[in-house]
């Protein structure tokens, strides 16, 4: 299994919590940028001729903000330059405030079969507060265009003034709209973003409150048939994101576009975060790689354990042994002994008990070498 990630860095407006590589007010660069992305796809396609990829993911930024024909062109180029598996999963991230019938038609023609919608909350005032350009009506319009299709909705926890009642309304809206998948994650106020000031002023819910919202959300999602398969991801049976499952299995992926990261042949590398530099490099025929690190030895083992234990499937001793030739419980004997009470063991598999999954980062701190 291997994935392809394509970064589309343009947004209509910058959200107050956003720490991603996304540019508002620079959409006039879209045409030149997409031409460079097409070139990068060709450059990597030549290098990775022998590999089969079974997922493609258009992320951002807001891929649905730009002309849909650019997305069509990029997907066409992926199909031409890479060997895709027979039934690839092809996802696009969409902001409900940027969607139209014509765009959806073009995406479907391009072979996109999964849609990830940034709803965040069903409370319009909260959407406005965090600088989102959409409202609940836009979400309803967007999902009406996707009736019966495979789409996911993002739900954010920890917003200013957010209550459990708000979470209930949001999850009920998501369920009623027919989403097959939900990503529910806690807001992380990053230094340098406008929302960080609210955080410093103590205006955001604290860790315990967010934890309560999360537990409340997990129960409600379960009631509507969304089963947790990773700490922040929930799906109706059979609708788990194949693209993300590959990340947690420490599978390989190639990321293209400004700031995109890749993991290939044991190397983790990241493209430049600078839009102009990205385009200059590509136009000169160079890969725009900013950092490249070989992940090996203890670090690779830790990554394997940490990623697998984020999922409700857990870690397979056999898969670990196949990858590293040793037993993970022996490699991490001291940490394992200290954290054993948080695990459930079933044959070859070990997973974190449901009630501790949310704090898996703290549990796994002992595994860092
Ligand atoms: S839409 Fe997404 S990428 Fe764009 S500014 Fe908002 S959070 Fe950032």
Whether residue 186 sits in one domain with residue 38 = yes
Whether residue 95 sits in one domain with residue 228 = yes
Whether residue 240 sits in one domain with residue 91 = yes
162 with 129: CB under 8 angstroms? no
Distance between CA atoms of 119 and 22, rounded to whole angstroms?
18
Q: What is the 3 state secondary structure string of 129-145?
A: HCCCCCCHHHHHHHHHC
- The predicted pLDDT at position 174 comes to 98
* Residue 328, domain member (yes or no): yes
Kindly give, in sequence order, each residue whose CB lies less than 8 Å from that of residue 241, ignoring residues fewer than 6 positions away: 89, 91, 114, 152, 181, 233, 235
Beta 349-352 vs 343-346: how paired, if at all?
Answer: antiparallel
119 with 139: CB under 8 angstroms? yes
Whether residue 226 sits in one domain with residue 115 = yes
* Residue 282, domain member (yes or no): no
- The predicted pLDDT at position 145 comes to 98
CA 15 / ligand 1 centre spacing (Å) = 5
Whether residue 305 sits in one domain with residue 176 = no
- The predicted pLDDT at position 369 comes to 78
- The predicted pLDDT at position 1 comes to 85
Residue nearest to atom 5 of ligand 1 (CA): 14
Distance between CA atoms of 306 and 122, rounded to whole angstroms?
33
CA 164 / ligand 1 centre spacing (Å) = 24
CA 351 / ligand 1 centre spacing (Å) = 33
Site to probe by mutation for ligand 1, drawn from 8, 9, 14 as the one with most ligand atoms within 8 Å of Cβ, is 14
CA 300 / ligand 1 centre spacing (Å) = 31
- The predicted pLDDT at position 76 comes to 98
Q: Which atom of ligand 1 is nearest to the CA of 132?
A: 6
Whether residue 213 sits in one domain with residue 359 = no
Distance between CA atoms of 81 and 320, rounded to whole angstroms?
32
Whether residue 148 sits in one domain with residue 227 = yes
Tens digit of each residue's pLDDT (9 = 90 or more) over 267-299: 999 999 999 999 999 999 999 999 999 999 999
Residue nearest to atom 6 of ligand 1 (CA): 15
* Residue 101, domain member (yes or no): yes
Supply the DSSP string of 273-311, one letter for each residue.
S-HHHHHHHHHTT---EEEEEE--HHHHHHHHHHHHTTB
* Residue 227, domain member (yes or no): yes
pTM for the model stands at 0.96
Which of residues 222, 247, 272 is at a domain's end?
247
Enumerate residue ranges in the chain where pLDDT < 50. none
Whether residue 240 sits in one domain with residue 301 = no
Q: What is the CATH number of the domain that holds 319?
A: 1.10.10
Domain that holds residue 49: 2-247
Closest CA to 312 of 286, 341, 350, 279: 350
Distance between CA atoms of 229 and 240, rounded to whole angstroms?
8
Whether residue 231 sits in one domain with residue 354 = no
What is residue 167's three-state secondary structure? helix
Q: Which atom of ligand 1 is nearest to the CA of 95?
A: 1
The pair of structure tokens assigned to 309 is 């234990």
CA 87 / ligand 1 centre spacing (Å) = 30
Whether residue 314 sits in one domain with residue 206 = no
Which of residues 221, 247, 273 is at a domain's end?
247
* Residue 268, domain member (yes or no): no
Q: What is the CATH number of the domain that holds 195?
A: 3.20.20.70
CA 19 / ligand 1 centre spacing (Å) = 8
* Residue 277, domain member (yes or no): no
Distance between CA atoms of 275 and 28, rounded to whole angstroms?
12
Which of residues 247, 276, 311 is at a domain's end?
247
Count of all residues that appear for the chain in the document: 369
Residues with CB under 6 A from ligand 1: 11, 14-15, 18, 20, 22, 60-62, 95
Q: Which atom of ligand 1 is nearest to the CA of 61?
A: 3
Give CA angle at 178 (217, 55), nearest 5°: 90
* Residue 259, domain member (yes or no): no
Whether residue 328 sits in one domain with residue 179 = no
The pair of structure tokens assigned to 3 is 């994935």
Residue nearest to atom 2 of ligand 1 (CA): 61
What is residue 173's three-state secondary structure? helix
CA 348 / ligand 1 centre spacing (Å) = 40
* Residue 215, domain member (yes or no): yes
> What is the count of structural domains for the chain?
2
Whether residue 45 sits in one domain with residue 112 = yes
């Amino acid at each position: 299994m291997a994935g392809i990630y394509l970064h589309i860095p343009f947004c209509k407006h910058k959200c107050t919590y956003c720490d991603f590589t996304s540019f508002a007010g620079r959409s006039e660069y879209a045409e030149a940028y997409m031409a460079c992305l097409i070139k990068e796809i060709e450059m990597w396609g030549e290098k990775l001729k022998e590999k089969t990829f079974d997922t493609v993911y258009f992320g951002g930024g807001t891929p649905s903000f730009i002309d849909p024909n650019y997305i069509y062109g990029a997907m066409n180029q992926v199909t031409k330059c890479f060997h895709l598996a027979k039934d690839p999963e092809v996802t696009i991230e969409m902001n409900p405030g940027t969607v139209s019938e014509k765009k959806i038609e073009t995406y479907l023609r391009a072979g996109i079969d999964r849609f990830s919608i940034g709803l965040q909350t069903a409370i319009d005032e909260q959407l406005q507060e965090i600088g989102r350009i959409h409202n609940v009506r836009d979400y309803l319009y967007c999902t009406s265009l996707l009736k019966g299709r495979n789409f996911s909705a993002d739900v954010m926890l920890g917003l200013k003034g957010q209550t459990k009642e708000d979470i209930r309304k949001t999850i009920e809206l998501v369920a009623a709209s027919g989403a097959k998948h939900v990503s529910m994650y806690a807001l992380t106020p990053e230094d340098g973003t406008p929302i960080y000031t609210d955080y410093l002023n103590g205006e955001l819910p604290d860790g315990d409150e967010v934890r309560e919202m999360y537990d409340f959300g997990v129960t409600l999602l379960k009631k509507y048939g969304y089963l947790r398969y990773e700490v922040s991801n929930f799906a109706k049976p059979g609708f788990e994101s194949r693209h993300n499952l590959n990340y947690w299995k420490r599978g390989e992926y190639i990321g293209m576009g400004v700031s995109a990261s890749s993991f290939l042949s044991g190397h983790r590398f990241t493209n430049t975060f600078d839009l102009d530099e990205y385009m200059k490099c590509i136009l000169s025929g160079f890969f725009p790689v900013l950092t490249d690190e070989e992940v090996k030895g203890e670090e690779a083992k830790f990554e394997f354990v940490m990623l697998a234990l984020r999922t409700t499937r857990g870690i397979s001793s056999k898969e670990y042994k196949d990858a590293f030739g040793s037993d993970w419980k022996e490699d991490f004997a001291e940490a394992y002994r200290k954290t054993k009470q948080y695990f459930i063991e079933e044959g070859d598999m070990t997973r974190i008990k449901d009630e501790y999954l949310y704090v898996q980062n703290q549990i796994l701190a002992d595994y860092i070498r």
